[in-house]
Structure 1
Amino acid sequence: MAVRSKPKGEDKAAKLRKQYPNSTIDVWPLDMASYDSIQAFTARAEKELVRLDIAILNAGLARGVFKTVPSTGHEETMQVNYLSTMLLAILLLPLLKNKSPVGSPGRLTIVTSMLSLTAKFANKNEIPLLKSFDDEKIFDRFDMYPTSKFLGQFFIWKLTDSVSADDVVMNLVEPGFVKGTELQRDVPFAVRVVLDLFKAATARSVKTGVSTYLDAAIAQESSHGSVLMNWEIIPYPSLLYTEDGKKIMERLWKETLEELSFVDVNSILKSL
């Protein structure tokens, strides 16, 4: 279990160990707002894990106010949901390729949101694109979350070209609105009240939400590069299929690899 708060993680792990006494559950610190923490986490996985079959990247943040990460200078929602998640995905790909059993590809599932269909993405024509998200004048507290997930869909579409499904099956999953999460904990109080009421009335149970993760990570054999929702492969948002969308994808890809060049992501992708 990768957790930002070690005490909270150990508390959850203790409950799982009691429920499943024959299991081994380790709690590793991972702060998705920190590039250093991500590199330390993957270095530990490289050193300590003999085998790695599946990774599910579930971290998500919905901020109600503009805030930047001091160590990177980037807006926090975009940092956690997009930049850091894509870095973690790239760093895990060689491990999933090399540490999964022969003849059985590793599985990398990244949690997305089809709220991306509602994304305004008003700055999509800004050059440079990534840097524009760090401008408070562009920040839209209702749009940053869906747009951050939208960018992840652009990047994974392109990243699939560098990864063989024989080595790692990589996909995106939309679990739906699920009870028991604290995704909205940082939004304004009034908005949180409305969302909590809506969640109580309409959201899926944790068990149902988890089943979408398991379906994507284990059951969907032919889902490489796909988006999964309601246990089925669905289309990406329509913009990605257009000429304008492809141009945005290429700019985003180039800028993201440049942002992450401190770990030589180009060499990692070539090794795949």
Structure 2
Amino acid sequence: MVGSKDLEPSHTSFGKVFFYNQFRAKPQWPNPDATLAGKTAIVTGGNVGLGYEAALQLLGLKLARLILAVRSPDRGETAAQKMRAMFPEASIEVWQLDMCSYESVQAFAHRAENQLPHLDIALLNAGVCKFTFNIVEKTGHEETLQVNYLSTMLLAVLLLPILKSKRSRDGAPARLTIVSAALTLAAKFPERNRVPVLAAFNNPELFTIDETYNSTKLLAHMFLWKLVDFVSANDVIVNLEDPAWCKGTKLAREVTNPGLKLFAKIFGATTGRPPKVGASCFVDAMVNKGKESHGCFLMSWKIHPFAAYLYTPEGQVVMQRVWDETLDELDFAGVRAILQSMRA
């Protein structure tokens, strides 16, 4: 199988990548006979935007049980009620998950381990694009780094043994898909030469709206590159998926400048994919793609190379540093022991 690591690095300009994603790529929908009957899925950030649409598409494939992992239970319940009206046969629950809190992430994983008889799919969709620098008091980290990378990777590791042990008994591997972004291919990653790397994200002088978002998504590519050395595709297929630029995602909900907000609305209306199409990328990664997608970056329904920087000697060194720093940061949760257990 040829995965993202094995492909030649892409040096295509981001403009060309964007044009292809938005106007040329063709959706790949599940086969008519595809079914998730009897299976259980978790979708983080599933009450709005692409997470909500992806949840609907999973339910449309006869998913038996859906866990909406949301920061606000009230807003999550509003979304769940709409889903229950459309899919009365499914069990749809709302569980609280605050990605700014390590304690909340651990509590969520503990609940999944103790309350779910089965778990087959996890879509880690929750993410932020911050327009101002903000430190999460509980962790001391910049919020974009905390949500898009540190808490997401912690949740991924904590869910891996649960997915492995509780997947359905049909012999199929479980699925763990992490939402990514094509913008990783254009990330300048200004923190790359800082030691330590992760702490550099907490420096307000290095914060920018676009580069901080792009770079935190790039960190997830680095982590996945190493993570799959511990995870067999026979147990859990792990991949990253880019939905491309979509309208109606709420990602830029914090924009306050009227001119910028109007521009984003017009730009989204003229170039953005409909949420249904964007979310279909996630469903493709979790339903259509098989073991060939393990450890891969998927974009526009195809396996794509990682950012070219990761293939360079410097990129390999920085990637190892990021991996080591991440394991140190998450050591309180026993992540090293969990990863070793996945090899058993």
CA-to-aligned-CA distance 1:168-214 (integer Å, 9 cap, x gap) = 00000000112221100123423333222111111111111121111
* TM-score, structure 2 as length reference: 0.78
Which residue of structure 1 aligns with residue 283 of structure 2?
214
The answer to whether residue 188 in structure 2 is matched with residue 115 in structure 1 is: no
Q: Secondary structure at the match of 1:142?
A: helix
CA distance in 1, matches of 2:140, 2:254: 20
The farther-off stretch of 140-149 and 72-81 is 140-149
- Return the offset for 1:34: 0.6
The answer to whether residue 74 in structure 2 is matched with residue 74 in structure 1 is: no
Q: Secondary structure at the match of 1:214?
A: helix
The answer to whether residue 262 in structure 2 is matched with residue 193 in structure 1 is: yes
CA distance in 1, matches of 2:337, 2:126: 26
The answer to whether residue 301 in structure 2 is matched with residue 234 in structure 1 is: no
State the number of aligned residues.
272
The answer to whether residue 173 in structure 2 is matched with residue 91 in structure 1 is: no
Q: Secondary structure at the match of 1:179?
A: coil
Shift of the 249–269 alpha-carbon distance from structure 1 to 2, 3 Å rule, reads: same
The AA in structure 2 aligned to 1:192 is K
Q: 1:49-64 to 2 correspondence within 5 Å?
A: 49-64=116-131
CA distance in 2, matches of 1:163, 1:191: 43
Q: Which has the higher contact order (CA 8 A, sep 6+)?
A: 2
The AA in structure 2 aligned to 1:167 is D
CA distance in 2, matches of 1:177, 1:114: 9
The AA in structure 2 aligned to 1:131 is A
- Return the offset for 1:8: 0.6
CA distance in 1, matches of 2:102, 2:186: 29
What percent identity do the matched residue pairs reach?
A: 49
Question: Unaligned stretches of 5+ in structure 1?
Answer: none
Q: Secondary structure at the match of 1:52?
A: coil
CA distance in 1, matches of 2:261, 2:202: 24
Which residue of structure 2 aligns with residue 256 of structure 1?
326
* Aligned CA-pair RMSD: 0.9
- Return the offset for 1:101: 2.3
- Return the offset for 1:120: 1.5
Which residue of structure 2 aligns with residue 266 of structure 1?
336
Question: Unaligned stretches of 5+ in structure 2?
Answer: 1-67
CA distance in 2, matches of 1:33, 1:170: 23
Residues 69 and 76, structure 1, Cα contact 8 Å, conserved in 2: yes
CA distance in 2, matches of 1:253, 1:81: 15
Which residue of structure 2 aligns with residue 203 of structure 1?
272
Which residue of structure 2 aligns with residue 174 of structure 1?
242
Residues 113 and 174, structure 1, Cα contact 8 Å, conserved in 2: yes
4+ residue stretches of structure 1 with deviation over 6 A? none
